[in-house]
Amino acid sequence: MDPVVIFHTSDLHNRLSPAAARQLSELKASRPGALLLDAGDAVAAGNLTFRLRGEPILRKMAEVGYDAMAMGNRESHPSRRILERKLREATFPVLAANLVAKRQPLPEAVQNHAVLNGVGGRRVAVIGLAPQITRPDSAWARVTDYVFDDPLSAAGRLAEELREKADLVVCLSHCGDRVDRDLAALAAVDLVLGGHSHRDFVEQEPGQAMIVHPGHHGSHVACTEITARDDARCVLHPLEAGQ
């Protein structure tokens, strides 16, 4: 059985050179059926700001062929109207399983997970997880349209449900390496693709899912090949910084 191939980036902060964008397109095209994901903070705006003319990195990611991304703190906004405007350039799902609507429904672009077809038509369930920017019990929760539940609890519930629908369950996390290590211990999770910590590493403890972080500001793209939870390998490829 050929492995499912997943390329993933994180914490681009609107820094994806034309050369790197071409490189990502070529890498994905070179592996038919490969998925291209991002673990969040692709945009440069903060969680309380937005660009009036839209987010250029989201347009670029759509052109490159990204299949989905996790919502990072920079993609979020406490107002539904502004959140929808902030994400309007994303033609791919923005995933946040722990984002909970209070006063307004979630924008159409935001989903808790996506089921994607990988190599050989195998179904890959991708659960997106955002950091807890506004906790349900915080003072800010009184005035925001959304709150963020505990990502570990949200992932645990959803991963168990998705085991019936998918061949592989992947957590696409912008929660940082500490939370990612807890996610990797969940029995229903096969792979954790992370970001937010601005680190590049690959690690796997016995009996747990592999954790992959590809660095920040477009330094690397991770190429993970996986057939099962205990059969995964990853290489970090440097991305080109030039024109």
pLDDT digits (tens, 9 = 90+) for 76-126: 988 888 899 899 999 999 999 999 998 778 888 999 999 999 888 899 999
Domain boundaries, the chain: 4-238
CA separation for the pair 91, 147 (Å, rounded): 24
CATH topology classification for 4-238 = Purple Acid Phosphatase; chain A, domain 2 (3.60.21)
What residues does 35 pair with on adjacent strands? 6
Residue 243 has pLDDT above 60, yes or no: no
The amino acid at residue 140 is W
- Please name which of 186, 187, 194, 174 lies closest in space to residue 234, comparing C-alpha atoms: 194
Q: Specify the pLDDT at position 242.
A: 58
CA separation for the pair 172, 213 (Å, rounded): 10
CA separation for the pair 93, 87 (Å, rounded): 10
Mean pLDDT, rounded, of the chain:
93
Is residue 171 within 8 A of residue 127, CB to CB? The reply is yes
pLDDT band at 208 (very low <50, low <70, confident <90, very high): very high
Instruction: List strands edge to edge, sheet with 110-111.
Output: 110-111, 94-95, 68-70, 35-38, 4-9, 220-228, 231-238
pTM: 0.95
Burial 136-146 (b: 16+ CB within 10 A, else e): eeeeebeebbb
- The two structure tokens encoding residue 186: 């969940």
pLDDT digits (tens, 9 = 90+) for 19-49: 999 999 999 999 999 999 999 999 987 776 6
CA separation for the pair 85, 65 (Å, rounded): 21
